[in-house]
Amino acid sequence: MNRKKQNIIDAAYSLFISKGYNSTSIQDILDEAGISKGTFYNYFTSKTECLIAIMESVGNEIRQKRMEAAAGKPVNDPTVLAEQLCVRIQMNREKNLFSLYESIFYSQDKELKDFAKNSYRKELDWISSRIIDIYGPKAAPFALDNAAAVHGSVQQLVNIWQLTTDEDLPTKKLASFVINRLDVSILAQMESGARFILAPTVYTEKTSDNLSVKELAQQLETCSLSFGEDHASRQLVLFLAEELKSEAPRKALLESVLGTLTNNPEHESDLLILLEQVWKKLAKF
């Protein structure tokens, strides 16, 4: 990301946490970042857009850390999902994001509301897809029910913990507890056939989870065009694409390249989403 843009984001984040989003003016951000109004508007059209950029940056970091936690491990291992859930819980606490979520929740700004709704969809869709990874295609009809339960349980258990004790939240214990409850719940649903949410997904369009190996390779090739001067990463992504298209993809090489790419915190969300799909495809090779 451009250094000046990152400087503005860092300044705005600091102010939104310390003063609150609604109490922070654009002038406050200009003073904190040491920039002119013209410089601010070169990168953002509004304070709202600045907040969205902060949340997108955090979301990208969460994706990167989730992939880092998963790389080289079995797709169907529930302890991997527990580790991945821990990532968001820890990030929310480390970066004091609850106050920012609250600002979005109570905002009347349509752009913020739409962003929040789309972020919620993405998280539910991600949890649903990971549930299917673990329990197989037979779990698909019940995945959205349980994704909502997992997401809601984490939020409410964090709230209740804070109401009942001053001790630090045991994030790993919380994530493991939620995944253990998921195991009981979804196995019971798969046996009984009972479900509440009838829609298969929160999206209507095709998502990256539905891509064939060929389509995934094509999207990786397209993504490689956006790397600018990062020639090393471009070559690694193109290698993934070529290897996926081969008649006999070399799993060990794919895993090695995937590990290298997922350890780079600079990569954008579009690539990280595709890398997660490569990780899932590897389980089928």
What is the tens place of the pLDDT at every residue in 88-104?
999 988 888 887 888 88
pLDDT at res. 109: 87
Q: Is the pLDDT of residue 205 over 60?
A: no
Q: Is the pLDDT of residue 188 over 90?
A: yes
How many Cβ atoms sit within 10 Å of the Cβ of residue 74? 13
Report residue 180 CA to chain centroid gap.
Answer: 22
What is the tens place of the pLDDT at every residue in 126-157?
999 999 999 999 999 999 999 999 999 999 99
228 conformational bin, left if phi > 0, alpha if psi -120 to 50, beta if neither: left
Nearest CA to 151 out of 92, 96, 224 is that of 92
Q: Could you give the C-alpha distances from 187 to 23, 196, 210, in angstroms and in order? A: 48, 15, 24
Q: How far apart are CA 129 and CA 132, in angstroms?
A: 5
What tokens does 26 get?
A: 């654009």
pLDDT at res. 1: 64
176 conformational bin, left if phi > 0, alpha if psi -120 to 50, beta if neither: alpha
Q: How far apart are CA 57 and CA 55, in angstroms?
A: 5
Q: How far apart are CA 76 and CA 156, in angstroms?
A: 26
pLDDT at res. 8: 95
pTM of the predicted model as reported, rounded to 2 decimal places: 0.81
